[in-house]
Each structure stands twice: as C-alpha cells, then as structure tokens.
C-alpha cells in the first residue's frame, strides 16, 4: 500500500476547511440527497461526501456505509484531493497503491474494488475533500456518469459555500445589532440605525434568491433521481456526448429575445419538424426554445434521432435549469458578499489611532452599497471616478464623511432626484490633491443658515432624524486629514459639497 502524499498547499487547505465549520456537524438533507443521486447514477453501492482533515476523512453525507470516518492514511479520497479531475480506480486489487489497503484486502472488511472521486474544489482552488462512489466489483464510469459526478460535486461545493455565506451574514448582522445597542448615541450608529431596514432588505433579496433556487434544484433533483440513470444507460455514445454538450451550452446561454420573438422561432421549428415527419414537433419546439439552443441545430440534431426525443429534451431542460439555478445562487452570494464587505467597513471600529492605507473610490462604493435600497426608489445615481492613488489616512473616519454627505443629499431630495458623486485629481506646482464632490438636486440651502451648517448641534431636520453632529464631525475629520470642505448651493436647483484631501 502506498500512503498518499500531502498536497503542496496542505496548510492553506486545512485552514480553509476549518473556516467552513462543517466537520462533525449533523447530517443535512441537501448533502444526503446528492450522495443518493450519485449512488443511483453511478450504480454504486456506496457514495460519500468525504472531507479530509489532518488525521482522518470524515463523511458529511453517506449512503451504503455505517462508519462516520476512517484514518486519512487509508483513504482513497486522500489520493483524489491531489487531482484536478475525477480520480478513478477501476480495480483496486490490480493497483499497487491500494491492493494491500485493509479496505481492499481484508476479507472481513469493505472489499473495495472500484472507486471514483470528484475533488471538492472551493473558489480559492483548494480541494477540501471529494464526492465519491465506491463498489465491491471492478468497473469503469461512462462519460455520462462522469459528467453527472462532476455536476453533483459542484453542487456539494455550492452547498458548502451557501453554509459559509449564511453564517457570515448572520454573524455580520449580529455584530451590527450589537454595535447599534452599544453605540446608538454616536452619529455613526445613529445613521446605521436609520439604514437598518434598507440593509435588511438588501440582504434578504439575495437570500430569497438563494433559497428559491436551492429549493427548486432540490425538487428537480429528487424528481430526476429515479429516471436519469436508466435514461443515461440507453443513450448511444454519440447521443451521450450530444446530451452533455446540449446541457452545457444551454446553461451558459442567455438570449435577449422577447416572448413574441420566441413564439415566432417556435412556429418555425414546428413547421420544420413537421416537414421532416418528426413526432411531437410542438413539444420538441417548446423545449428547444426554453433551452435557448434554437440557433445551434448541430447541438440538438443527434437527440432528435434518439429513441424518445421529447423525453431526452425534457431531462436536458431539467438539468439545464439546475445549472442555471447554481448561477443564480452564485450571483446572489456575490451580492450578499458585497453587502457584508460594506457592513464590515462601516461597522469597523479602529482602536489603534494609527494611519492606514486608504482606497478612496472603494470606500465611496462601499458606502453607496449601504444606500442601494433607498437609491433605487427614485434617485438617479451618477458616478464619475478617476483612478485615485492610495494614500495614508483614517479609513473608518472617512467612511463616516461619505455616509454623512450621501445621507444628507438623499434627504435633501426627499428620496427623489439626481445624485452625482465624482472624484478627480488636482495637480498644482508642488503637490497633488483629490477633489471629491457630492451633488444633489434638492431644494438648496437657504441663505440665512448657510453660515451655520457646520456648527455643532445645528440641524434643520425634525426631532429624531438628525443630531446636528453630522457636518460638524465631517469637518473635523477632513481637517484631521489636512483637507478642507465647502459647498455651493442654488435655491431650487440643489447643492454640491466639495472635499479636498492632500495625496
């Protein structure tokens, strides 16, 4: 028996596995369904979601096996995580690496003969474990079965990412709630309190998309389970290749045709199929339009000649829908991640008092993210950012500046109008500066209060809407950066606040 070597990125891999906080957790239906499906499609007695830590392989989900873990040095999966693609052992008795493995050689043991494992590669390129299938007879997976195992392996990684994102979201919301309770008297947390409902809406939107897509995929996979294996077995090699290519093409295609244009395409297809005496022309045309493959006849032609074309296209449509659901989940998790990042930057409390690197445009974009729900209700946002070099300052405090200015601008317009934010570099003979402008199309600042707006506790807002600290704090922060702030206003047309900072 040849013990598996350690991956070259073992330390990073183990750290990543710890971040998922999945080891030794309770069984979850989402993972259990995937191993059942893998076992059925690959016609194997055993299927596992196996995660490899420093000493063992532990099974997050399993079918056909009672054990919950085994030593790493005996694990086939410890070899599989060294690969980028499916690791397949057709007959373990004939493989020098495994013939003396107790799980192979022991007459009272598992008597493993066949193994195939798809590495579970996370977005950082680290193999956490495998989705594997095991049997007691030598064999080899078909191309269709390999495609299915890869697809299901990707689903396992998607589920792991979902667990991580949900945990991060919950943790960040918990931190925000604690920060609100502890620091509600400060202007920063008062602003966050006003934003809480909008932030919750922005987070709930991607969470809803994630839940809907995940639930839909689970239902479809459960319905596919009893049908897919038999269907794949009856396909010829040409049909199997066409089936796989069709699903991949459809999953990556998004047309911009209107419903009327799609109906016209369908009628053309029906006429063409009827002319060729193809049965179920109307049903086939429907599926081809829904799969968005009508512009590529070469990819669907082989399936038109299969035993049951309408059934083949129905299954292809279901698998393509699952793949598209995965894309929806990825987009939603990316959006949620962006909100989390903005919340982290907004809620962070720097206790060191030391300067740090400032990425100006990024800070503005993070602040805008927190106001997305308000902006999309009636504010036309226009951004014009020059490339600004990084410089030293107090990032957390500048976030408060952008928050105050954007918040005031939206309120000045009563949530309706145009908000323009720009950054530009100003070069003088002896130095460089960055000029930030925030322009609204509100009512403007009355002349009789223009010389008071930077005064501490001065506010024109109703009780509970403002403390009068915002612009006073803003001015102090800008002066701390050796900068300056001023404004230009025109009654009935709006106001622009300018911030100038040295680079």
Mean pLDDT of the residues in the chain: 82
State mean pLDDT over 96-108: 87
The more confident residue out of 176 and 346 is 176
Which CATH number covers residue 373?
A: 3.30.565.10
CB-based burial of residue 260 (10 Å sphere; 0-12 exposed, 13-18 middle, 19+ buried)? Answer: exposed
pLDDT at 423: 95
Question: What is the rounded average pLDDT of the residues 317-336?
Answer: 71
Q: Residue 115 pLDDT > 50, yes or no? A: yes
Same-domain pairing of 357 and 439: yes
Per-residue pLDDT of 351-365, as tens digits, reads 556 788 999 998 898
The whole-number pLDDT of residue 24 equals: 94
pLDDT digits 0-9 by tens, 412-455: 898 899 999 999 999 877 788 999 999 999 989 888 888 888 87
- The answer to whether residue 151 is domain-embedded is no
Same domain, 459 and 319: no
**DSSP secondary-structure letter at 438?**
E
Domain assignment of residue 330, yes or no: yes
State the virtual CA torsion across 249, 254, 259, 264 in degrees, nearest 10: -40
Check pLDDT > 80 for residue 255: no
Q: What is the mean pLDDT of residues 260-278?
A: 81
Identify whether 234 is part of a domain. Answer: yes
Same domain assignment for residues 135 and 185: no
Residue at 220 is within a domain: yes
Residue 141 has pLDDT above 70, yes or no: yes
Are residues 328 and 282 part of one domain? yes
Asked whether residue 201 carries a pLDDT value surpassing 90, the answer given is no
How many domains does one find in the chain?
A: 3
Residue 155 within any structural domain of the chain: no
For 398-433, give one letter per residue: b (16+ CB within 10 A) or e.
Answer: bbbbbbbbbbbbbbbbeeebebbbbbeeeeeeeeee
CA distance 126 to 108: 35
Query: Which residue is it, tokens 């893998």?
Result: 38
CA 366 to chain centre: 18
Predicted pLDDT at 336: 66
Q: Is the pLDDT of residue 192 over 80?
A: no
Does 467 or 482 have the greater pLDDT score? Answer: 482
Rounded distance between C-alpha atoms, residue 184 and residue 178, angstroms? 10
- Examine the fold and report which residue of 275, 310, 338 is the final residue of a domain before the chain moves on: 338
Do both 291 and 407 map to the same domain?
no
Domain end position, chosen among 141, 173, 196 = 141
CA atoms of 371 and 410, how far apart (whole Å): 9
Residue 236 inside a domain? The answer is yes
Q: In terms of domains, do 361 and 324 share one? A: no
327 and 216, same structural domain?
yes
Regarding whether 461 and 387 lie in a shared domain, the answer is yes
Do residues 461 and 398 lie in contact, with contact meaning Cβ atoms separated by under 8 Å?
Answer: no
For 16-42, what is each residue's pLDDT tens digit? 999 999 999 999 998 999 999 999 999
Does 237 reside within a domain?
Answer: yes
**pTM surpassing 0.85?**
no
Same domain, 181 and 222: yes
Residue, of 125 and 276, whose pLDDT is higher: 125
Q: 183 with 320, same domain? A: yes
Range of the domain at 184: 165-338
pLDDT reading at 46 higher than 80: yes
Using a pLDDT cut of 70, give the percent of the chain over it: 81
Is 311 found in the same domain as 176?
A: yes
| 153: in domain | no
Band of pLDDT at residue 160, cut at 50, 70 and 90 = very high
What's the average model confidence in pLDDT over 36-58?
A: 94
Least confident of 164-168, 201-205, 211-215, 338-342: 201-205
Whether the CB-CB separation of 409 and 422 falls below 8 Å is answered with: no
- Say what angle helices 395-412 and 309-347 make with each other, to 10 degrees: 110
Question: Cα 363 from chain centroid?
Answer: 21
Q: Say if residues 493 and 444 touch (Cβ distance below 8 Å).
A: yes
The reply to whether 202 and 329 lie within a common domain is yes
């Amino acid at each position: 028996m040849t013990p598996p070597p350690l991956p070259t990125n073992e330390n990073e891999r183990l750290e990543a596995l710890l971040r998922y906080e999945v080891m030794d957790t309770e069984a979850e239906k989402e993972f259990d369904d995937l191993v059942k499906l893998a076992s059925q499609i690959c016609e194997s007695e055993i299927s596992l979601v196996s995660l490899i830590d420093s000493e063992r392989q532990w099974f997050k989900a399993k079918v056909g096996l009672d054990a919950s873990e085994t030593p790493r040095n005996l694990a086939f999966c410890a070899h599989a995580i060294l690969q980028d693609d499916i690791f397949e052992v057709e007959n373990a008795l004939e493989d020098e690496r495994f013939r003396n493995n107790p799980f192979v050689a022991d007459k009272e043991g598992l008597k493993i003969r066949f193994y195939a494992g798809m590495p579970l590669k996370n977005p950082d390129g680290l193999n956490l474990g495998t989705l594997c299938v095991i049997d007691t007879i030598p064999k080899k997976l078909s191309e269709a079965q390999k495609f299915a195992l890869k697809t299901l392996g990707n689903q396992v990684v998607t589920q792991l990412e979902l667990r991580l994102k949900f945990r991060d979201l919950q943790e960040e919301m918990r931190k925000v709630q604690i920060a609100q309770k502890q620091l509600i008297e400060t202007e920063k947390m008062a602003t966050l309190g006003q934003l809480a409902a909008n932030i919750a809406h922005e987070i709930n939107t991607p969470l809803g998309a994630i839940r809907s897509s995940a639930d839909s995929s689970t239902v479809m996979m459960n319905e596919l389970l009893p049908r897919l294996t038999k269907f794949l077995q009856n396909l010829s090699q040409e049909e199997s290749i066409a089936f796989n290519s069709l699903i991949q093409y459809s999953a990556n295609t998004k047309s911009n045709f209107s419903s009327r244009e799609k109906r016209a395409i369908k009628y053309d297809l029906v006429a063409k199929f009827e002319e060729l005496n193809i049965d179920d022309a109307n049903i086939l045309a429907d599926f081809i339009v829904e799969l968005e493959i009508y512009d590529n006849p070469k990819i669907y032609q082989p399936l038109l000649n299969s035993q049951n074309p309408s059934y083949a296209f129905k299954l292809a449509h279901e698998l393509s829908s699952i793949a598209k659901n995965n894309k929806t989940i990825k987009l939603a998790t990316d959006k949620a991640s962006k909100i989390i990042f903005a919340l982290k930057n907004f809620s962070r409390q720097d206790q060191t008092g030391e300067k740090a690197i400032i990425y100006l445009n990024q800070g503005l974009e993070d602040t805008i993210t927190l106001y997305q729900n308000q902006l999309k209700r009636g504010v036309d946002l226009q951004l014009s950012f020059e490339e600004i070099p990084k410089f030293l300052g107090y990032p957390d405090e500048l976030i408060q500046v952008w928050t105050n200015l954007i918040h005031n601008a939206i309120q000045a317009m009563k949530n309706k109008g145009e908000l323009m934010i720009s950054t530009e570099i100003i070069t003088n003979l002896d130095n460089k500066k960055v000029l930030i402008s925030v322009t609204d199309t509100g009512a403007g600042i009355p002349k009789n209060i223009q010389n008071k707006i930077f005064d501490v506790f001065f506010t024109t807002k109703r009780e509970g809407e403002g403390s009068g600290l915002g612009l006073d704090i803003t001015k102090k922060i800008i002066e701390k950066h050796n900068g300056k702030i001023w404004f230009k206003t025109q009654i009935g047309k709006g106001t622009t606040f300018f911030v100038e900072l040295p680079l």
